Amino acid sequence: EVQLVESGGGSVQPGGSLRLSCAASGFTFRNFWMYWVRQAPGKGLVWVSRLKTDGTYTEYADSVKGRFTISRDNGKNTLYLQMESLRTEDTAVYYCVRGGMGNTGLDHWGQGTLVTVSS
> What are phi and psi for residue 8, nearest 5 degrees?
105, -5
Q: Please give the angle made by the CA atoms of 9, 11 and 13, to the nearest 5 degrees.
A: 130
Binding-site size, another protein (CB under 8 A): 24
Integer Cα distance of 58 and 51 in angstroms: 5
Quick note: the x/- pattern for another protein over 30-69, rule CB under 8 A, is -----x-x------xxxx--x--------xxxxx------
Report 2-31 residues binding another protein (CB under 8 A): none
Contact of 2 with 26, CB cutoff 8 Å = yes
Tell which one of 22, 106, 115, 117 touches another protein (CB under 8 A). Answer: 106
Shorter beta-carbon distance to another protein: residue 13 or 101? 101
Report 65-104 residues binding another protein (CB under 8 A): 95, 101-104
Report, in Å, the least distance between residue 54 CB and another protein.
18
Can you give the C-alpha Rg of the chain in angstroms? 13
Tell which one of 32, 72, 79, 112 touches another protein (CB under 8 A). Answer: 112
Q: What element of type H or E holds 19? A: strand 18-25
Q: Could you give the 3-state DSSP secondary structure of residue 1?
A: coil
> Which spans of this chain sit near another protein (rule: CB under 8 A)?
35, 37, 44-47, 50, 59-63, 95, 101-107, 109-112
